Structure 1
């Protein structure tokens, strides 16, 4: 284990944070529900893109309608870094809990408003403009949502369980996708295709209101994270004025001191989210528009794949606490590089069983990334800049990844090559592989700038002993280095006539 802050006295058992199990469960539930709502909207949007294309861009060809609807999905990613900059600074100054309560309100309201927008036939060009404005508001709020939720869970989790606990955050993402897809299929099957195009597509967006209220209630009831509270207490002990006016760091200062961590964060987020958007946002449109399956048929296949992902997700997180985070990033990247083309051969086989297998393989490879991302990213930065650094770097990366559905659709249309998405994933897998090779292992270690966190006092004693063992080993290593240096010194002295 490593600690950034130097201690004037030896670490004692009372210095180790004991995490309250009930509070931990509430924190994970609140964070995962907000994330589920975010991805519920993304999932719904991807699954009804064909309908939105006809409602908001009726004069274009089917292919252009699809690209235009997916472009409206991608444009909000432009404002996500601004949201990350704004909410990241707020989160480091005022705390994680307050910011997460704000972001879920904005997400719920903007998603609900999409369902209220009249069609192009009713108000003309204002229809796509209003759609874009609602998506921009979503993008701004989401800029602080995932990174804040990941930090919230990481700062609440015991060191030895951070991978397992963090995996539930993306479990919420996948569950949101499943729920969004299920709602779309249920409504379209109940009302019929024409009524779904006329008004049925609006219903899933209206569901954001009750989900947002539940999420807000859960988040508002939570206490601040132990790690951030430690940071506040230390600032208060050192300088009471620092609580009211905490020192600020610009992104340039953060980049100059944390550039290695920032690069690793960017690489991991790009590899994860490109795969995410390719599989869960673009593939429903790919199956219906390019492979000519009915919309419901394609969505049902994706739903089955996502349900499989739900079972795999926490297993990946649990195993990462045993084996480390790096093996999953490296293994997932290699798998994506080697298996992307075979998977798309299966998807294009026109055999339902083989299509499912191809998508399932891609889904498990995606689980390798999502199973460790929420526990890996917050561990890269110290407490006082964690929200700012992670939110900015995360959303700059997502700005690149968010273009995936639009670029994939355009590449297939432009080249008439159904394997372009596979080539796209192969390029991204190289980024993931390089990231995995250069990232530092963070499993079972305290967060930077924080004391160790344990589930109970017995585990705290084990952590304390591990810390002492680690110090003893480092002292022995330094002693060995000193002996080697003394030997080298003596050899140099022996070569000089005037030195003794």
Structure 2
């Protein structure tokens, strides 16, 4: 069974659209900061929350395992948030997701370490990460769906790009805070008390985001959701409909999410650590290079989103993924020359921004009545598997196989993204899969 919805005429962005985009992007940035600040201090956390006599590589792997747990629980959070988002409204779910993110982040900053409570320290840390995973599982797909159904149909790519740039801004905030902490205090002070500050700040950021979103009004999309209720109660559960009737769209969305997870997880989040461990860079140089790369990512996410509104979807994905693969290969091959870091890393960051266009594909291939569930299921299931296992895989391959393994992994996945773009281009962007019912 296919669903249809009235197609409204094209219009320009109005004041309410800009307000919705700004609040959604800023709130997403503050919430995503809370989720990823963990990885910037993973080395410190591995020393504090595991026994001193544990090998460094093993404590690092276990720390990444706790980080991965936040990804593994995301599908459950996404499905639950999608259900109640349709029932009670997107705004309420946005508020709940921020609260569920802010409080655990604040608690992490106050946790006693292994020295004080032994095995309960990593267990409590794991519990906090699980709560964060539940929150982010509903935030990202819900925000993409919300803004896509709010703006004109010829501005959906721009809206999704801006929102993804907002999430990238959260990574930038994490990198900036990490850089300031490493520059302003000694390594001893960082281990003693300094590592707590970014997490406490994250809790404050979360409360600010919650306050900001109180100004985010329910748009006409919620009225449409209300109309769907009776249809969804009569028909199958939305997730079941997604799997049984929209399997090709789901598979393609999951594959693109896999590519996205590699670009964000490895190039943006893990590379500063890999630069220090495998290539001999100082923490300051690694973080400063990372800041430039994230700025490039923020700019290009919006750029590629705009391109999706103006050009064939398959062509944008094909060209963008090829450029990303080339830039990442050049970046890693040049790492032995430290002077090139501030040129090749920002270039790689900019090219990774093609992932900002993937949300456009996801919101377009699922019809209105199941869009939230379709995007949430596809994105969170793929991110749970790929994003959850990637830190462990990369850590293992780097330590025991080859320090260039991260580059080979990410370049291979962007090659997969290019093949998906080619498939869409050959099949005229697979119009039979597109649900042209938003805008």
TM superposition score normalised by structure 1:
0.80
**2:297·2:351 contact (CA, 8 Å) conserved in 1?**
no
Counterpart selection for 1:254 from 237, 242, 254: 242
Residue deviations 1:327-360, cap 9 Å, x none?
222123223444543331112x2322x2233323
Distance 1:93 1:436 in 2: 35
Which stretch of the first structure deviates more once superposed, 217-226 or 393-402? Answer: 217-226
- SS of residue in 1 equivalent to 2:281: coil
Which residue of 267, 271, 275 maps to 1:279? 267
Partner of 2:380: 395
The structure 1 residue matched to 2:179, chosen from 162, 185, 199, is: 185
1:319 and 2:304 matched: no
Q: In the alignment, which of 327, 338, 351 is matched to residue 338 of structure 2?
A: 351
Tell me whether 1:172 sits opposite 2:166 in the alignment. Answer: yes
1:81 touches 1:396 (CA, 8 Å); kept in 2? yes
Aligned-pair RMSD on alpha carbons?
2.6
Q: Secondary structure at the match of 2:400?
A: helix
**Equivalent position to 2:136, from 132, 135, 142:** 142
In structure 1, the residue matched to 2:411 is 426
Counting only pairs closer than 5 Å after superposition, residues 324-335 of structure 1 correspond to structure 2 as 324-335=312-323
Once the 2 structures are TM-superposed, how far is the Cα of residue 108 of structure 1 from its aligned partner?
Answer: 0.9
Q: Which has the larger radius of gyration?
A: 1
Q: Distance in 1 between matches of 2:341 and 2:376?
A: 36
Aligned pairs, number: 432
Look up the match of 1:221.
Answer: 215
Select the residue among 75, 78, 84 that pairs with 1:81. Answer: 75
- For residues 71 and 162 of structure 1, the distance between their equivalents in structure 2, rounded to whole angstroms, comes to 36
In structure 1, stretches of 5+ residues that fail to align are: 236-240, 454-500
Q: CA deviation at 1:436?
A: 2.0
Q: Which moved more, 1:334-343 or 1:33-42?
A: 334-343
Q: Deviations over 1:217-263 (max 9, x none)?
A: 23233222333423535x5xxxxx93996755253332111111101
2:350 maps to what in 1? 364
1:48 counterpart (33, 41, 64)? 41
Deviation at 1:269, TM superposition (A): 0.8
Partner SS state of residue 195, structure 2:
helix
Deviation at 1:59, TM superposition (A): 2.8
SS in 1 for 2:54: coil
Q: TM-score, normalised by structure 2?
A: 0.90
Question: Residue 300 in 1 paired to residue 288 in 2?
Answer: yes
| 8 Å Cα contact 2:47/2:59 also seen in 1 | yes
**Separation in 2, partners of 1:419, 1:385:** 41
- Is the alpha carbon distance of 1:31 and 1:246 closer, same or farther for their aligned partners in structure 2, counting shifts above 3 Å? farther
Other-structure match for 2:298: 310
Q: CA deviation at 1:277?
A: 0.4
1:247/1:99 CA distance change after superposition, 3 Å: farther
CA distance in structure 2 between the aligned counterparts of 1:67 and 1:332, rounded to whole angstroms: 32
| Conservation of the 8 A alpha-carbon contact between 1:47 and 1:299 | no
Shift of 1:34: 2.8
